[in-house]
Structure 1
Amino acid sequence: MADFEMKKRQSVSVFISHLRQSKQLRRFGDIIYVSRRMKYVVIYMDQDQVTSNVQRLKQLGFVKKVVVSPRNQINMNFDETLSKYRLTEEDQEKIKDQSEEK
């Protein structure tokens, strides 16, 4: 039995001039969302193909703008940031009093 290996994916927003060209974007990845009002398409593609695909997308005539999601650069480990902030003794007493009242 083959082991399941999860591929790293990244979101790319492609702003287009007409919605009928959105079907042509299927070859770059999985289309997740199409905004009819703002005329953009959200595509998920493999992370190792993002740079080459973005260059190819920008060369298409109907593409106005390509925006790559910055989620990979954001630190999602919030334990480190929360441990920097500590409650003062006064705040700890308030929380203790509120829990005792209930």
Structure 2
Amino acid sequence: MLSDQRKGHIVWVSDVKAARSLEKYGNVHFISRRLHYAVVYVDADREEETLRNLQRLPYVKKIERSLRSELKTEYPKESEDKTRFYSM
């Protein structure tokens, strides 16, 4: 049974090719070849177990929790739209 809640984590890796194998632990959303990290979403109910297993991998340097779910994405419209004043 799949959980509706997912938690995002930034997994810093030493080997980008090996980071492809992170898919068996969760949903790999993005892998940065230049900065050597992967964005992985895991089920919230199995999060602790999954993170322990990820930490044991030899190519994983560090795991950080993604704060994207805590960011405010809805903004109130307090001022009028000024784009029409700046258009040509």
- Equivalent in the alignment of 2:83: none
Number of aligned residue pairs: give it. 76
- Equivalent in the alignment of 1:15: 12
**Identical-pair percentage:** 27
Rounded Cα–Cα distance in structure 1 between residues aligned with 2:39 and 2:16: 13
Alignment root-mean-square deviation, CA? 2.6
Higher relative contact order (CA 8 A, sep 6+): 2
How far did residue 6 of structure 1 move?
Answer: 6.7
- Equivalent in the alignment of 1:61: 58
Structure with more of its chain in strand, by fraction: 2
How far did residue 70 of structure 1 move?
Answer: 3.5
Alignment of 1:27-46 (within 5 A): 27-46=24-43
Q: Which runs of 4+ in 1 moved over 4 A?
A: none
Normalising by structure 2, report the TM-score. 0.71
Q: Unmatched 5+ residue regions in structure 2? A: 80-88
How far did residue 45 of structure 1 move?
Answer: 1.3
Q: Unmatched 5+ residue regions in structure 1? A: 83-94, 96-102
How far did residue 71 of structure 1 move?
Answer: 4.6
Q: Secondary structure of 1:50's match?
A: helix
Q: Secondary structure of 1:10's match?
A: strand
How far did residue 51 of structure 1 move?
Answer: 1.0
Deviations 1:14-70 (A, max 9, x none): 110011101210101111001011000001111111111111111111100011124
Larger Rg: 1
